[in-house]
Structure 1
Amino acid sequence: MTFARRALLAAPALLLAGRARAQAAWPERPVRFVVPFPPGSTPDITGRAVATHLTQVFGQPFVVENRAGAGGNIGTDAVARARDGHVIGLTINGPLSTAKALYPDLPYDPARDLAIASLLVRAAQLLVVHPSVPAADLAGFIAHVRANPGKLSFGSVGSGSGGHLAMADLMARSGLDMVHVPYRGFPQATLDLVAGRIEAMVIVSAGILPQLREGRVRALAVTAERRMPQAPEVPTLAEAGIPDAESYAWNALIAPAATPAERVARLAAEAGRALSEPQTRAALEAGGFEVVASGPEAAARFVAAETARWSGLIARLGIRAEA
């Protein structure tokens, strides 16, 4: 066999070997791991646990970069715009499922510009009221609000936030008229609720469990499918008479849309292993978060369903984000 003939026959094998080496070599340099919230936040804690594990597995640093602002949209947009193959991120429900409906000029399209690698963790929300509200359960609360239309107020961490949408959904289902008071963050909203300056709030469980345990607020319902281990005495919305109204705060692992599917699947699998570490899982569960760690297909279906549900509510009620 001539040299030219041998070289021609060997070319496909060499090409395949070259491609395999190129795929196996990723990442070739440090990877930016964008978290669109400040250090110490739950997304940051979750992201750092995942980043530490990915650094160990892939042999290159996964460097957490906190890009806070606009409810997570700024950091999420940074991942959507990345083109160098060495950027991934973690974000929350808003930037993936409601931002497009709330912000007409959103610079990215979640469905077009992002690959949803995995749903990582989720947390139920609690409907809580100030102790002065004369209601021992959800039915009593609904009756009290109906008897005082427009006189009671509820807080949230902003128009279009998860807590605002969950309360707006409950109000629409129950025919309630309450005044919405948006805040810039959980601390001030919680402070005003405890002080009685607002009467109610739907808030992620991690943000209110200490006040609930101290008796400074009363919980009427949890927005989960089942009761919370951290507050087993609180009934679900379904148990309290409002079926099919579950809602969660959740974190997802994301990558730019052009990321190869096999890489997305590998990242999802390794993120699941990171969050399954007993110490990490225990810390998250103590704060009211449940480790989910789905794969890409399940995550994509979940985000699509969340987008349809909440975007429909936003359009139907005419909800707008603050300017």
Structure 2
Amino acid sequence: MTNSNRRRVLASMGGALVAPAILSGSARAQGTYPNKPVRYINPFPAGGATDTLSRLFCAKMAELTGQQWIVENKGGSGGNVGVDALAQSAPDGYTLGLGGIASHAIAPTLYAKLPFNPRTDFTFVSTIWFLPNLLVVNLDLPVKDLPELIAFLKKNPGKYSYASAGPGTTLHLSGELFKIKAGVDMQHVPYRGAAPAMQDILAGQVHMIFDNIPGALAQVRAGKVRPLAVTSAKRTPVAPDMPAIAEFIEGFDIVSWTTLTGPAKLPTDVVARLSELSKKALESDDLKAKFADLGATAWWNTPAATLAYRDAEEARLAPIIKASGARVE
């Protein structure tokens, strides 16, 4: 990201408290939802890609509604701690949060027991964004590309490690899928989020990470890590020179996707209003550009389509997770 783009993104993020814009007279007169601040639970720590992108989205929603959208970071257990808090919140539309592939498509298979039902304990309003992960390695690791990494790991089974944002995240699943398909042995080191994981990559405590591309690209552009490949089936426009792992390992395809989610039994009128607002936000040129600067694609779906996509992703990923042997008791 250029300095000017970075300043623009940071300026739009603000703090954890996203300031409201002035609501138009007609909307104020209608007294439509929301008429007070909205709490938005991000189930990952501050500083990572989900945090940056969530704050951009909430800033746009605040602009459209004239109400504060307060981002609360509640990390832990691969996102499950924050998601559980969301499931237990009042279904009044004033506590929403970030759902997605980790908690709602991977976790049902990965975890022997969850404190929530990923399908029935939530209301799915819309998808928000999708993005690939980027495999980066510590600069001290003596490899320059993906084939060299695979050969190096095969010569050194079990001696090297990859970090993740916790069990059940796409960072974790990308690593497990890579181990299976590349036939290599690596140690998994889970963290409470992508930001602390990346810090240990930079410090040389862990050797590599399949990080969400916004966080990884920032470190690549700073010259602090070496990029090798993206986890999507095809190359990404934000880093067109970076090969896809699928170019070397057939069928490799993992992308992160997220949803605007509420607790079960949100009133239908609130869901309809949120769907309308999220569509306006995600189809706005300014938010799309800010997302693209960070490697993400703004992505809106209806509530029904979002739920159907969740169902399909759980079914697609279940055999991959089971084949990996990954399991959290």
* TM range, smaller chain: 0.7 to 0.9
Residues 213/27 of structure 1: CA separation in 2 closer, same or farther (3 Å cut): closer
Tell me which residue corresponds to 1:30: 36
Q: Counterparts of 1:36-51 in structure 2 under 5 Å? A: 36-37=42-43, 41-42=51-52, 44-51=54-61
Match of 2:157 in 1: 149
Aligned to 1:119: 127
State the secondary structure of the residue aligned to 1:220.
Answer: strand
The amino acid that maps onto 1:229 is P
Deviation string for 1:51-91 (max 9, x for gaps)?
314524xxxx4643515133433443343334553335231
2:175 to 162, 167, 177: 167
Three-state SS of the structure 2 residue aligned to 1:264 is: helix
Q: Which of the two has higher C-alpha Rg?
A: 1
**Distance in structure 1 (CA, Å) of the matches to 2:301 and 2:91:** 26
Structure 1 distance, partners of 2:259, 2:91, is 21
Q: Deviations over 1:117-157 (max 9, x none)?
A: 11111221001122343433222221221122112221222
Please identify runs of 4+ aligned residues in structure 1 that moved more than 6 A.
Answer: none
CA contact (8 A) 1:72 1:91 kept: no
| Partner in structure 1 of residue 309 of structure 2 | 302
Equivalent residues in 2 for 1:219-230, closer than 5 Å: 219-230=227-238
Residue 232 of structure 1 aligns to a residue whose secondary structure is coil
Write the distance in 2 (CA, Å) between the matches of 1:259 and 1:76: 16
CA RMSD, aligned part only?
2.8
Task: Structure 1 unaligned segments of length 5 or more: list them.
Answer: 1-23
> Is contact 2:219-2:225 (8 Å) kept?
yes
Are the equivalent residues in 1 in contact too, given 2:34–2:65 (CA < 8 A)? no
For residues 224-258 of structure 1, give each alpha carbon's deviation from its aligned partner in whole angstroms, at most 9, with x where no partner exists: 2432333221011222x223322222221113332
1:43/1:92 contact within 8 Å kept: no
* Percentage of matched positions with identical amino acids: 32
Which residue is equivalent to 1:64?
70
TM-score (norm 2): 0.78
Instruction: Tell me, in whole angstroms, the C-alpha distance in 1 between the residues paired with 2:144 and 2:92.
Output: 54
**Equivalent residue in structure 2 for 1:52, among 58, 62, 71:** 62
Task: Show the 5 A alignment for 1:54-133.
Answer: 54-56=64-66, 61=67, 63-64=69-70, 66=72, 68-70=74-76, 71-93=78-100, 94-133=102-141
Of residues 312, 315, 318, the one that matches 2:322 is: 315
Q: Aligned in 2, Cα 1:318/1:47: closer, same or farther, shift over 3 Å?
A: same
Pair 287,151 (structure 1): closer, same or farther in 2 beyond 3 Å: same
Q: Which moved more, 1:117-126 or 1:175-184?
A: 175-184
Is the CA contact 1:90–1:251 (under 8 Å) kept in the aligned structure 2? no
SS of the equivalent of 1:238 reads helix
Map 1:233-272; keep pairs closer than 5 Å: 233-239=241-247, 241-261=248-268, 263-272=270-279
Q: Which residue matches 2:220? A: 212
Give the secondary structure class of the aligned counterpart of 2:128. Answer: strand
Q: Aligned pair in 2 of structure 1 residues 237, 28: CA closer, same or farther (>3 Å)?
A: closer
Q: Helix, strand or coil for the counterpart of 1:288?
A: coil
